[in-house]
Amino acid sequence: MPFIRQVRVAEPGTHAEHVVEVRYSTLTTGRLRSASREQVYDAVRAGTRFRTVDEVTHNQADVVARVSTRGTRYVATVANGRETDNILHLPRY
């Protein structure tokens, strides 16, 4: 299962839909690969299970595919009902 460990965001970077690219690995550690928001969105919709992992706290959350009211396809996490608690707390690159 892919684990998203870092994110790149467009300004202002305050919502999950601002994530434009992620770095992930097949384990919670190891070599990082890059994927665009669209690639991850398509993979999640096709049935691949992604999770975020915070390397400091070790918290994990499932990644879901979403569409904004403007039609932007993006990925988010809602482990505790708050979209900003997980994916946007990952390290930026």
pLDDT for 39-60, tens place per residue?
999 999 999 999 999 999 898 9
Instruction: Count the residues in the chain.
Output: 93
Q: What is the pLDDT of residue 83?
A: 62
Please state, for a pLDDT cut of 90, what percent of the chain lies above it.
75
Task: Write out the two tokens for 43.
Answer: 């993979």
**Cβ contacts of residue 28 below 8 Å, gap of 6+?**
3, 5, 53, 55, 58, 60
**Cβ contacts of residue 85 below 8 Å, gap of 6+?**
61, 77, 79
Please state, for a pLDDT cut of 70, what percent of the chain lies above it.
92
Stated pTM of the model = 0.91
